[in-house]
Amino acid sequence: MRITPRKVAAATAVAALGLTLTACSSGGEDDGAAVDTADKMVGAMEDYGVGTTFKATEPLTFGLMYRDHPNYPLQKDWSILKAFEEEHNVTFDIQSVPLADWQQKRALLISSGDAADLIPSTYAADVETLTSGGAVLPISDYLDYLPNFQDKVEKWGLQEDLDRLRQADGKFYVLPGLHESPKPSYSIAIREDWWEDAGLEDPKTWDEFADQLEVIKEEHPELDYPYTERWSINGPMEATLQAAAGNFGTEAGWGYGDGVTWNGSEYEYTGTSEGYKELVSYFADLVDRGLLDPEGLTQEDDPAIAKLTTGKVAALGVNDQEMTRYRTGFEEAGDKDAKLKEIVVPAGPAGNIMDATTGGRFESGIALSSKAAERDDFVAMLQFVDWLYYSDEGLEFAKWGIEGETYTKDADGTRTLADDVDWSGLNPGAPKLLNTDFGYYNGVWSLAHGSTSDLVRSTLTPEVQGFLDEMNQKDVAEKGPGIAMDEMQREESSLLQTNLQDLVMTATSQFILGDRSLDEWDAYVAEVESAGAQTYVDTVNQAAGVTE
What is the spatial distance between Cα 477 and Cα 357, in angstroms, rounded to a whole number? 9
What is the spatial distance between Cα 300 and Cα 257, in angstroms, rounded to a whole number? 22
User: Which residue, among 418, 447, 526, has the nearest Cα to 176 in the 3D structure?
Assistant: 447
Pairing of strands 315-318, 187-191: antiparallel
User: Which residue, among 170, 179, 251, 155, has the nearest Cα to 478 in the 3D structure?
Assistant: 251
Degrees (nearest 5) of the Cα angle 155, 53, 24? 50
Q: Write the DSSP assignment of 379-394 as a string of letters.
A: HHHHHHHHHHHHSHHH
What is the spatial distance between Cα 239 and Cα 236, in angstroms, rounded to a whole number? 9
What is the spatial distance between Cα 341 and Cα 330, in angstroms, rounded to a whole number? 13
What is the spatial distance between Cα 116 and Cα 370, in angstroms, rounded to a whole number? 10
> CA distances (Å), 123 to each of 127, 176, 257, 293, 364, in order?
7, 7, 12, 33, 5
pLDDT of res. 408: 97
What is the spatial distance between Cα 539 and Cα 492, in angstroms, rounded to a whole number? 9
pLDDT of res. 450: 80
Judge contact between 511 and 280, C-beta under 8 A: yes
pLDDT of res. 35: 66
Judge contact between 200 and 518, C-beta under 8 A: no
The dihedrals phi and psi of 248, each to the nearest 5 degrees, come to -110, 5
Count CB-CB contacts under 10 A for residue 170: 16
pLDDT of res. 425: 83
pLDDT of res. 448: 66
Judge contact between 88 and 54, C-beta under 8 A: yes
Judge contact between 258 and 126, C-beta under 8 A: no
SS3 378: helix
The dihedrals phi and psi of 97, each to the nearest 5 degrees, come to -130, 125
What is the spatial distance between Cα 180 and Cα 55, in angstroms, rounded to a whole number? 26
Residues 6+ apart with CB under 8 A from 32: 23
The DSSP output letter for 203 is P
The dihedrals phi and psi of 263, each to the nearest 5 degrees, come to -105, 10
The dihedrals phi and psi of 278, each to the nearest 5 degrees, come to -65, -40
Q: Over its length of 548 residues, how does the chain's per-residue pLDDT go in tens digits?
A: 333 222 222 322 333 333 333 434 333 344 444 466 678 999 999 999 999 999 999 999 999 999 999 989 999 999 999 999 999 999 999 999 999 999 999 999 999 999 999 999 999 989 988 998 899 999 999 999 999 999 999 999 999 999 999 999 999 999 999 999 999 999 999 999 999 999 999 999 999 999 999 999 999 999 999 999 999 877 899 999 999 999 999 999 999 989 999 999 999 999 999 999 999 999 999 999 999 999 999 999 999 999 999 999 999 999 988 998 999 999 999 999 999 999 999 999 999 999 988 889 999 999 999 999 999 999 999 999 999 999 999 999 999 999 999 999 999 999 999 999 999 888 989 999 999 999 999 999 987 678 899 999 998 889 999 999 999 999 999 999 999 999 899 888 988 999 999 999 999 999 999 999 999 999 999 999 999 999 999 999 999 999 87
SS3 46: coil
Q: How far apart are the first and last CA of the chain?
A: 35
